[in-house]
Structure 1
Amino acid sequence: MTPELLDRALVEEAAKKSGLLWVRGVGAPAPRALWHVWHEGAVCLIGDGPGEQPLPELVDGGSAEVTARSKDKGGRLVGWTARVVELAPESEQWQAAVAELKGKRLNAPDGEAMPGRWARECRVLRLEQTGGTLPPPEGSLAEEPLPSPATTREPVPAGLPRLLFRRRRRGRRGR
């Protein structure tokens, strides 16, 4: 087997096994975790609609850097560059991709009406591998998280640890 075929096989296997990919579009400040499906030799994504994942930096004809994580350890497994292709709503290729995506979409608010909503309000993208795999990065890739309206928990009340960890002595006295 040639190195190109081995790279394609590695990318396909990693994308099929991983539940999400880290994708950085051109000009994006940081990669974004996106759920996907592997369909007909490419990663397929749905997004940019109400209740769906955001895909702001991914433009038709542009490029993206994709990283797959290991399913068992969650660490970086393989990275590659991809060409972004936006599928036309209701086209044959769009319908095939949506059939796969529909089966993997968790907690959909509209069930069977989902493909119609996707055709009206969302974008379906294919990320097609354009070359070999990328070399492993050097150094730490730690970055500040993207802004979010989510908040962290409030501090634990001072008396809570005492209530949770005090010993029960009642049952031992009668022995």
Structure 2
Amino acid sequence: MTEQVLDQALIEEATKKSGLIWVRGDGTPSAGTPGAGEPAQALWHVWHDGAACLVGDGPGEQPLPGLADGGEAVVTVRSKDKGGRVVAWTARVVELASGSEAWQETVAELKGKRLNAPDGEEMPARWARECRVLRLEPLAGTLPLPDGSLAAAPAPSPVTTRQPIPEAVPRLLFRKRKRS
């Protein structure tokens, strides 16, 4: 019993303090292993009422791949100061019904933490129309932290690495102007 209470306290404190959590969803409510086949995704969140709360899957918001209502997810929390993994835990995914009391309370918390929102005070109405609000509720205890790197190869993309600038550009940008 004491170990379970300590695990819950660790999950809550680490998740509250971290700006990002890494989430890997299983995509379905009845899949076998949580997160099987899905890459983990860094997501911003708010800890509210005993769960990590997220908003996404709408225009201008973070994608929430593999997170289905009633499914499970594996959440890995990093240290805010060092960036290393602190704790990993399994969560039940609960999608909040738009406009419900729980949705309104959660959106009020999320709204305060959303950075660079394009629509300010209209954000909750846009979230109600176009986005999903999810709660990741911790299930039993913590998971063992994996050994080694979990880095994945970058997804294929037409984007290329920037080439060196031509030698003349610094002279053109930083030359001293003659005063008349």
Q: Which category of TM-score, normalised to the shorter sequence, fits these structures?
A: 0.7 to 0.9
CA RMSD of aligned residues (A): 1.9
Which residue of structure 2 lines up, in the alignment, with residue 4 of structure 1?
4
Q: Does 1:14 align with 2:14?
A: yes
Shift of 1:28: 4.6
After TM superposition, what 4+ stretches of structure 1 lie above 3 angstroms from structure 2?
Answer: 146-149, 157-160
- Distance in 2 (CA, whole Å) between partners of 1:45 and 1:91 is 16
- Distance in 1 (CA, whole Å) between partners of 2:57 and 2:12 is 25
SS at match of 2:73: strand
The C-alpha deviation readout for 1:113-135, integer Å capped at 9, x for no partner, is 00000001000000000111111
- Distance in 2 (CA, whole Å) between partners of 1:148 and 1:123 is 27
Which residue of structure 1 lines up, in the alignment, with residue 47 of structure 2?
38
Which residue of structure 1 lines up, in the alignment, with residue 164 of structure 2?
156
Q: Does 1:58 align with 2:58?
A: no
SS at match of 1:96: helix
Contact 1:94 1:124 in 2 (8 A): yes
Identity %: 69
Shift of 1:56: 2.3
Residue type matched to 2:17 in 1? K
Which residue of structure 2 lines up, in the alignment, with residue 107 of structure 1?
116
Residue type matched to 1:65 in 2? V
TM-score by length of 2: 0.83
Which residue of structure 1 lines up, in the alignment, with residue 29 of structure 2?
none
- Distance in 2 (CA, whole Å) between partners of 1:59 and 1:143 is 23
Contact 1:69 1:76 in 2 (8 A): yes
Contact 1:28 1:57 in 2 (8 A): no
- Distance in 2 (CA, whole Å) between partners of 1:63 and 1:55 is 13
TM-score by length of 1: 0.86
| 1:130 pairs with one of 127, 131, 139 | 139
The C-alpha deviation readout for 1:100-149, integer Å capped at 9, x for no partner, is 00000000000000000000100000000011111121233221134567
Contact 1:58 1:84 in 2 (8 A): yes
| 2:93 pairs with one of 61, 77, 84 | 84
Which residue of structure 2 lines up, in the alignment, with residue 118 of structure 1?
127
Which residue of structure 1 lines up, in the alignment, with residue 175 of structure 2?
none
Contact 1:18 1:68 in 2 (8 A): yes
- Distance in 1 (CA, whole Å) between partners of 2:18 and 2:96 is 23
